């Protein structure tokens, strides 16, 4: 999309690095709202992270972006994959991942999920199933599963960009640290116990890195305590990306060095699980202005994307930088509130400095490659947007735009 992105594989891609001409062409060809994902940038991000962790296995956290185009790109680059549901696990296999490169790491999995994963494991015995509760281990045994088992541990240390994504100290996630060793050793009688897993949270950077190091240190200590030959110690991912245009990039080399130091001397392989780090800045969301309204409080810029298209601002108060595509005009700018068409006051993308807004302007929303389309919904009966993948000069539809018929496709009249 832009030579400035590929040169030297820079650690962050700013919104200004995207080609305005290419984005305008895509919006004209495919309409808006429109997600754009750049597969070349996904490769660049993976290469940088794999180089920083040369002795580790890199597992992509699929929940960040399960687009077939993204999964196939990462599979071809040699990544492994971490799946949070049976559905993600099926999509991983469909994208070409072999069983030894797939970890199923669910939280309180429904019975239907366990049924399907046990079935998948029967045909792919190298699949690893990660559990976070003694109950889940019992439920697997009841289904006849005796394969590769990893235990998710709650180390009591959390980190992340928002309280809703700090998992490392949340009781929902993992077995309490002081119970993990005994549970693992008893599970080894029925299962092939291969690893331990923990995850501090999502969007970790800055001050949170201290908590990440503490989590890794505790997992290293646990690995040395357990009287089992573990294949791996998985310390999660959550590596942050800069959402504000003046935020510095994550010092990945320092994070990698600190992770290895904190883990200490273990025989097992280190596993990391990046999600957003690999895909966030590889994607943008294009949206058009349909309303410009001056109010006493702000200039309100209404657009055709909303919280159903990109939920993170409404859900986490997340900042996504927005700029006008090829919109310098006479150079005048306006501080404006960008809001969508959903009937909720939370349906806003925050306040941004834009070129003087006019109906029909094309805006681009940055860092939309992670948890963008994945969290899109049909609330207000609004069809989900299209996703276009670009790879050099190639362009193709990764997800077609939904129609109202897609929204209502599952409806039935209950008494007919």
- What are the φ/ψ torsions at residue 170 (nearest 5 degrees)? -90, 125
- Asked whether residue 193 falls in the same domain as residue 77, the answer is yes
- Asked whether residue 235 falls in the same domain as residue 114, the answer is yes
What percent of the chain lies above the pLDDT cut of 90? 82
Domain membership flag for residue 222: yes
Least confident range from 89-103, 166-180, 351-365, 377-391: namely: 166-180
Distance of CA 119 to the CA centre of its chain: 26
| Residue among 83, 42, 64, 10 nearest 203 (CA) | 64
- Asked whether residue 162 falls in the same domain as residue 139, the answer is yes
Cβ–Cβ < 8 Å for 149, 137 = yes
- Asked whether residue 122 falls in the same domain as residue 238, the answer is yes
CB atoms within 10 A of CB 73: 24
**pLDDT at residue 211 greater than cutoff 90:** no
**pLDDT at residue 38 greater than cutoff 90:** yes
Q: What are the catalytic residues?
A: 343
**pLDDT at residue 345 greater than cutoff 50:** yes
* Dihedral (CA of 18, 21, 24, 25) sign: negative
Residue 202 pLDDT? 55
Cα(158)–Cα(202) distance, integer angstroms: 9
Better-predicted residue by pLDDT, 258 or 302: 302
Span 275-320, pLDDT tens digits = 999 999 999 999 999 999 999 999 999 999 999 999 999 999 999 9
Residue 159 pLDDT? 43
- What is this structure's pTM? 0.92
Span 39-70, pLDDT tens digits = 999 999 999 999 999 999 999 999 999 999 99
Residue 328 pLDDT? 54
Cα(224)–Cα(206) distance, integer angstroms: 29
Strands annotated E in 7-124: 34-38, 57-61, 80-83, 102-105
What percent of the chain lies above the pLDDT cut of 70? 92
| Residue among 176, 80, 185, 100 nearest 132 (CA) | 176
Which of these three, 278, 301, 317, is where a domain ends? 278
Cα(293)–Cα(337) distance, integer angstroms: 10
User: Please, which pLDDT band fits residue 336 given cuts at 50, 70 and 90?
Assistant: very high
- Asked whether residue 139 falls in the same domain as residue 232, the answer is yes
Looking up residue 85, the CATH number of its domain turns out to be: 3.20.20.10
| Residue among 357, 398, 36 nearest 339 (CA) | 357
What does the CA dihedral 266, 271, 272, 278 come to, rounded to 10 degrees?
140
Cβ–Cβ < 8 Å for 333, 354 = yes
- Asked whether residue 178 falls in the same domain as residue 241, the answer is yes
Domain membership flag for residue 19: no
Domain membership flag for residue 289: yes
Residue 158 pLDDT? 46
- Asked whether residue 266 falls in the same domain as residue 286, the answer is no
Q: Write the Ramachandran bin of 24: left for phi over 0, alpha for psi from -120 to 50, otherwise beta.
A: alpha
Looking up residue 293, the CATH number of its domain turns out to be: 2.40.37.10
- Asked whether residue 231 falls in the same domain as residue 301, the answer is no
Q: What's the first-to-final CA gap in the chain, in angstroms?
A: 53
Span 146-161, pLDDT tens digits = 999 999 999 876 443 4
Which of these three, 256, 278, 300, is where a domain ends? 278
Domain membership flag for residue 396: yes
Residue 10 pLDDT? 86
Q: What is the DSSP letter of 360?
A: T
Which of these three, 278, 313, 336, is where a domain ends? 278
**pLDDT at residue 360 greater than cutoff 80:** yes
Domain membership flag for residue 8: no
Cα(350)–Cα(303) distance, integer angstroms: 12
| Residue among 280, 279, 299, 276 nearest 289 (CA) | 299
Domain membership flag for residue 34: no
For residue 313, give its domain range: 281-407
Residue 168 pLDDT? 40
Our count of domains for the chain comes to 2
Distance of CA 161 to the CA centre of its chain: 13
- Asked whether residue 193 falls in the same domain as residue 209, the answer is yes
- Asked whether residue 211 falls in the same domain as residue 349, the answer is no
């Amino acid at each position: 999309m832009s030579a400035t992105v590929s040169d030297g594989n820079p650690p962050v891609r700013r919104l200004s690095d995207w080609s305005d001409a290419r984005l305008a062409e895509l919006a004209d060809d495919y309409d808006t709202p429109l997600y754009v994902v750049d597969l070349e940038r996904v490769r660049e991000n993976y290469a940088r992270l794999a180089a920083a962790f040369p002795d580790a296995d890199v597992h992509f956290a699929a929940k960040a972006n399960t687009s077939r185009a993204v999964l196939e790109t990462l599979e071809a680059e040699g990544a492994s994959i971490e799946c949070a549901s049976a559905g993600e696990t099926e999509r991983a296999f469909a994208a070409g991942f072999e069983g030894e490169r797939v970890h199923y790491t669910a939280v309180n999995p429904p019975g239907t999920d366990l049924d399907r994963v046990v079935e998948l494991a029967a045909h792919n015995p190298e699949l690893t199933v990660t559990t976070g509760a003694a109950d889940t281990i019992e439920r697997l045994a009841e289904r006849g599963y005796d394969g590769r088992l990893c235990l998710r541990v709650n180390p009591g240390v959390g980190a992340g960009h928002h309280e809703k994504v700090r998992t490392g100290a949340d009781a929902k996630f993992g077995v309490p640290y002081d119970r993990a060793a005994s549970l693992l050793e008893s599970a080894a009688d029925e299962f092939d116990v291969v690893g331990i897993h923990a995850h501090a949270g999502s969007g970790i950077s800055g001050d949170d890195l201290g908590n990440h190091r503490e989590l890794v240190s505790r997992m290293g200590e646990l690995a040395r305590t357990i009287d089992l030959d573990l294949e791996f110690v998985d310390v999660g991912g959550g590596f942050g990306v800069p959402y504000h245009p003046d935020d510095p990039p994550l010092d990945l080399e320092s994070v990698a060095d600190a992770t290895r130091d904190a883990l200490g001397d273990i025989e097992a392989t280190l596993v990391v699980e990046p999600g957003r780090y690999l895909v966030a800045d590889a994607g943008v969301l294009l949206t058009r202005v349909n309303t410009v309204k001056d109010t006493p409080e702000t200039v309100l810029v209404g657009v055709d994307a909303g919280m159903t298209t990109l939920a993170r601002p409404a859900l986490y108060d997340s900042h996504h930088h927005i700029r006008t595509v090829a919109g310098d005009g006479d150079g005048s700018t306006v501080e404006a509130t960008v809001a969508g068409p959903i009937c909720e006051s939370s349906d806003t993308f925050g306040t941004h400095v834009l070129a003087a807004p006019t109906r029909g302007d094309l805006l681009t929303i940055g860092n939309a490659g992670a948890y963008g389309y994945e969290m899109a919904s049909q609330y207000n009966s609004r069809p989900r947007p299209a996703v276009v993948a670009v790879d050099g000069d190639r362009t193709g539809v990764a997800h077609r735009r939904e129609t109202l018929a897609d929204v209502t496709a599952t409806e039935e009249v209950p008494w007919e």
